C-alpha cells in the first residue's frame, strides 16, 4: 500500500529529499504562499513546529503559485521572505503545483486520500475566503481539489493520511487535534 513516505520532492534549495526521512513522525504538509491573506499562518505554523518538534511533529511547507499568483517569487526569495518575516525553521520545499495535470504526485496522493468537503451554506455566506471562491472560482469548492493556499494534510507516523484541514483552519485549531497524537 502506498504511503506518504513513498514520495520525494526537492527542498527549497534544490536538493532531492524523500519523505521517508520523516518516517515515524507526525507530519503536517501545507501548501504555502507569501502574498496571501492567510500568510500570517506561517507564524502559527512555526510556533506549532517549535512546540512539538521534539515530540515528533514535523511541518513541511510546499510553496505554490496556483492561487491568485500569491507565490510569484523564486525559491531563494521565498526562503528569504520566510526567514525574515516569520523565522521559519521547518523544512521548506521547492515550488510545486497542487492541482491539475502538473500536480506534484504527493499532492495527487494527498487529495485522493482526503478529498475534502464542500463548505457549508453558513461558510459560503459568512467565511470571506469561501464566499470569494463561491463567487469567483466555484470549481475550487468541489471534488478533491486543494481549495486555496494553506490547506493542510496531517500524516500519521505510519505514513497514512489522517486528516485534511481546509485553508481557514488555524494552527491553533490544529494544535488541539494533534496534541493527543503526540503522546
Of 17-26, 51-60, 139-148, 165-174, where does mean pLDDT reach its minimum?
Answer: 139-148
**CA-to-CA distance for 138 and 25, rounded, in angstroms?**
35
**For residues 129 and 110, what is the distance between their CA atoms, to the nearest angstrom?**
22
- For the chain, domains (ranges, CATH) are 4-116+150-177 (3.40.30.10)
pLDDT score of 136: 61
Q: Contact 149/33 with Cβ under 8 angstroms?
A: yes
Distance separating alpha carbons of residues 66 and 139, to the nearest angstrom? 13
Burial letters 103-113, b for 16+ CB under 10 A, else e? bbebbbbbbeb
Euclidean distance between CA atoms 33 and 43, whole angstroms? 13
Q: How far apart are CA 159 and CA 80, in angstroms?
A: 30
Whole-number pLDDT of residue 163? 95
pTM for the model stands at 0.91
Q: What is the pLDDT of residue 137?
A: 62
Reported as a pLDDT band with limits 50, 70 and 90, residue 162 is: very high
pLDDT (0 to 100) of residue 53:
97
Catalytic residues: 36
Split at pLDDT 50, 70, 90, the class of 135 is: low
State whether the Cα torsion 23-99-126-114 is positive or negative: negative
Measured between alpha carbons, how far is 24 from 7 in angstroms, rounded to an integer? 15
Angle between helices 171-178 and 41-52 (to 10 degrees): 30
The least confident of 40-44, 136-140, 152-156 is 136-140
Amino acid at each position: 500500500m502506498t504511503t506518504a513516505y513513498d514520495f520525494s520532492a526537492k527542498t527549497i534549495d534544490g536538493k532531492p529529499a524523500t519523505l521517508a526521512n520523516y518516517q515515524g513522525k507526525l507530519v503536517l504538509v501545507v501548501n504555502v504562499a507569501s502574498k496571501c491573506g492567510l500568510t500570517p499562518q506561517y507564524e502559527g505554523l512555526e510556533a506549532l513546529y517549535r512546540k512539538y518538534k521534539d515530540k515528533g511533529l514535523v511541518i513541511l511547507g510546499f510553496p505554490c503559485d496556483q492561487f491568485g499568483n500569491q507565490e510569484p517569487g523564486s525559491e531563494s526569495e521565498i526562503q528569504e521572505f520566510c526567514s525574515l518575516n516569520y523565522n521559519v525553521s521547518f523544512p521548506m520545499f521547492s515550488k510545486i503545483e497542487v492541482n491539475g495535470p502538473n500536480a506534484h504526485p504527493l499532492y495527487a496522493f494527498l487529495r485522493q486520500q482526503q478529498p475534502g468537503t464542500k463548505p457549508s451554506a453558513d461558510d459560503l455566506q459568512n467565511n470571506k475566503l469561501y464566499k470569494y471562491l463561491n463567487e469567483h472560482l466555484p470549481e475550487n469548492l468541489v471534488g478533491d481539489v486543494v481549495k486555496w493556499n494553506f490547506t493542510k494534510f496531517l500524516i500519521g507516523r505510519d505514513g497514512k493520511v489522517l486528516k485534511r484541514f481546509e485553508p481557514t483552519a488555524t494552527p491553533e485549531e490544529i494544535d488541539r487535534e494533534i496534541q493527543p497524537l503526540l503522546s
